[in-house]
Amino acid sequence: MTRIRASCPSCGEVDLRPADLTLTIVRDADGQVADGSAYRFRCPACTHVVAKPADARIADLLRTGGVEAEEFEPANEDADQRPPHPELPPDGPRLTHDDLLDLHLLLATGSWFEQLLTTSR
């Protein structure tokens, strides 16, 4: 079984199994290991999570030792990376002023929640 020796800031050197480490590799446009690449592990002695940057040499060493790598491709700067606007309405009719008034009148009744439960979608 491969053992990987890593360093905890509190405990010093600790021995880990490959499955104890998580390796995240960020690649630049040339496919090289880029800034933001890192590995992390939970120290078996003090249980703190330790995270450290990983350069190409460290990433290769860890992968050779059997650590699974999570790879991230470089972001395409032309693509819109933003999530869809949360207020984009789903399919269906828009909420009108009449709908809002109906809701107001419904909420004024004592049984609005029961009525809401029986309303079909």
The amino acid occupying position 16 is L
Q: Is 54 in the site for Zn ion (CB under 5 A)?
A: no
Interface pick for Zn ion out of 2, 3, 28, 46 (rule CB under 5 A): 46
Q: Is 45 in the site for Zn ion (CB under 5 A)?
A: yes
- CA 55 – CA 73 distance, rounded (Å): 16
- CA 73 – CA 26 distance, rounded (Å): 6
Number of residues binding to Zn ion, judged by CB under 5 A: 6
- CA 107 – CA 97 distance, rounded (Å): 15
Interface pick for Zn ion out of 2, 7, 10, 115 (rule CB under 5 A): 10
Q: Is 19 in the site for Zn ion (CB under 5 A)?
A: no
User: Which residues sit at the interface with Zn ion, rule CB under 5 A?
Assistant: 8, 10-11, 43, 45-46
